[in-house]
Amino acid sequence: MDSVESMAYLRKEEETVEIDHPLSKVWVGIQQVLASLDWTTEQINETEHRVKAKTKAGPMSWSSILQINVTPVNEKTTRVLVKSETPVTMIVGMIDFAQGKRRIGQFFAELAKQLAS
């Protein structure tokens, strides 16, 4: 019989948003978001403005890994790309309800709050 891990796959989600704030403000805001949501920063590249973060697991889902890439569009606009990978087993796959997509939405909602303050 296969173990649960061997029956899992990665569900991937992705979203890109352009934000009307300079890169420096967005970069600081992203770090505040991760702390506010109590998500773990696994890797951070200050030079390339990239973060790998791990979300908390839910009662019926695994944690997600988020890859966050930040690039300037111009002096006043910043592009934020967030990719999510969430392990899903065949058992919870039917009740997962796209946790990665929900977590990306949660990230951007919290970022909007941070940038507004």
Q: What is the CATH number of the domain that holds 65?
A: 3.30.530.50
Tell me the pLDDT of the chain averaged across its residues: 87
- C-alpha 5 chain-centroid distance: 22
Residues 94-101 have a mean pLDDT of 69
In a domain, residue 25? The reply is yes
What is the number of structural domains in the chain? Answer: 1
The alpha helices in 9-98, defined as continuous H runs, are: 23-36
Q: What residues make up the domain containing 95? A: 12-116
In a domain? residue 1: no
Say what the pTM is.
Answer: 0.84
Q: How confident is the model at residue 12 (pLDDT cuts 50, 70, 90)?
A: confident
In 3D space, the residue among 17, 15, 36, 18 whose CA is nearest the CA of residue 114 turns out to be 36
Tell whether 67 is covered by a domain: yes
Name the more confident of 96 and 70.
Answer: 70
CA proximity to 68, closest of 99, 93, 32: 32
